[in-house]
Structure 1
């Protein structure tokens, strides 16, 4: 079992695709981290990645990585459907786990991982970088301070037309393909951060017979009376932005929704003219640094979760997504029977 030293966490990246390539630099820039290894399904891919990013360790299988000393934590950046098995094996091998979203494909799997992490005394978190970004954090602070009054409405979307020969994670049902689990995790999480768990859900959209969802529009209603209207798609463009309406103003989250570079805060009510302020947030590398920094600090402090994204929040978001997908399947089946 590996334990981090007093001032750094020794990380291994799992996967050699685009996500892994985007995050290595941010991990290194986050402070308290040392990227020491990579694991891939093939030794050749691991060797090439290690050479490109100057990593000391290159493992041609995940099992080799789990058995290796000198690795405290793993960052899993593989297709959605592999997350549960990889995270489970890593936790049981004594590694801390930060896993790309969604953490798992079902809420029950995330519950199980949470129990395993607690049993082994290891840190576990879904890599929901949006929640750690300065724009979303400042938005939540402004709402808590009452700047826009009581938040009542969220409208947000994310989507783009993915070519038929695009990444298989979008089109392959066995990989968790579709818009919801790749993009909808952001919109659902944003609504959850603002309003909590929905009481009612309404869904319309298009889903193939194999369960791959092409697009969906969904309304989440909350006990407070607040509502969220959200849309995701892999067949048409949805601007990656959102806005929150409150009883005394609004906050716009500018593009991209998952890592906004600015927000616009508007206050006042007619007949007085509105007052708007744009707040800019300089990017740290590609935007993952704030999340990695806080995860490093949590691991070094001996924490098993982070309060910004505890496992309970991940489970609740996945429960909402399961409800959305089930309702979308019902909508599909009703249309086919008409």
Structure 2
């Protein structure tokens, strides 16, 4: 089972390093700048470097592609990869719009190929332990979730985090984590309320998100590119509470009813192994992050963005 990596940015470096630690075979990498692809290949001992992702997709020896491009390119690249017969692991946020995500998923279904959003948090052993503790009633009925993810990032209209065509903004890059955690614990909210500010590029600079459930449970979430909020989460129930220590999206420590549980940081390795196991088993989606899970979270994000006055419809 061999991998191809599309794009050579920071996230591609981090994930590729963990692919190799996990024992995955990374055969090829592509970048619009062939020099960057060659440098990346040399750094990680990758055999083949391409200056166009279409050339990588045409490589018959590549089984799975990891799409590490900015969000704005996910739709185009994933469809091309599926049409080329490749299984796909696509970075989060999965797509700019629900409609784009639905098309990507339908293409995977029609091609009978594996496709998964790279929501690595769901594969973290401590996050799985937290979910099981909630299911087992260790903190009683969950009544509230608080989660934040924010940092200061200097504004530049050419920076991918601020550029609308790249899918910039706090919500898709950072807010996806608190929202996904809330969905994982409480499910799909009945009510969504968002408030925040916009950058000159018409993407969200920060946002507060209130997710409410008909039983009275609720989540107070925030994401920001203008303030260093940290990345912590707390789940409060009628009988106790759980804290996910910073960084909540990849915790190495959680506290369940006052008892701390820790693990070594293995980064993306759990996710990579899970993808290979799913592909080997002939699955088209992961049971830990199903296509419907991805769509549910994206629907919440899209509605929150709509309330902020942000739309990515038609952005390519």
- Residues 286-301 of structure 1: pairs in structure 2 closer than 5 A: 287-301=267-281
In structure 2, do the counterparts of structure 1 residues 44 and 209 end up closer, same or farther at CA, with 3 Å as the change threshold? closer
- Residues 193-232 of structure 1: pairs in structure 2 closer than 5 A: 193-208=184-199, 210-232=201-223
Aligned to 1:95: 86
Aligned to 1:134: 125
Contact 2:72 2:165 in 1 (8 A): yes
**Is 1:282 the counterpart of 2:264 in the alignment?**
yes
**Is 1:329 the counterpart of 2:309 in the alignment?**
yes
Q: How many Å separate the matches in 2 of 1:186 and 1:243?
A: 13
**Is 1:119 the counterpart of 2:110 in the alignment?**
yes
Aligned to 1:320: 300
Q: Offset of 1:164 from its aligned partner?
A: 2.3
Q: How many residues matched?
A: 310
Give the structure-1-normalised TM-score: 0.89
Q: How many Å separate the matches in 2 of 1:194 and 1:204?
A: 23
Q: Which of the residues 260, 264, 267 maps onto 2:255?
A: 264
Q: Offset of 1:173 from its aligned partner?
A: 1.2
Aligned to 2:314: none
**Is 1:40 the counterpart of 2:31 in the alignment?**
yes
The one-character-per-residue Cα deviations of 1:210-267 (angstroms, maximum 9, x if unpaired) are 431011111000233210000000001112001000010000000101101111112x
Moved more, 40-49 or 213-222: 40-49
Give the structure-2-normalised TM-score: 0.95
Q: Which of the residues 3, 7, 18 maps onto 1:11?
A: 3
- Residues 41-60 of structure 1: pairs in structure 2 closer than 5 A: 41-60=32-51
Q: How many Å separate the matches in 2 of 1:211 and 1:325?
A: 11
Cα RMSD of the aligned pairs, angstroms, is 1.4
Q: Which structure is larger by alpha-carbon Rg, 1 or 2?
A: 1
Deviation beyond 3 Å, 4+ runs, structure 1: none
Unaligned runs of 5+ in 1: 1-8, 267-275, 331-338
Unaligned runs of 5+ in 2: 311-316
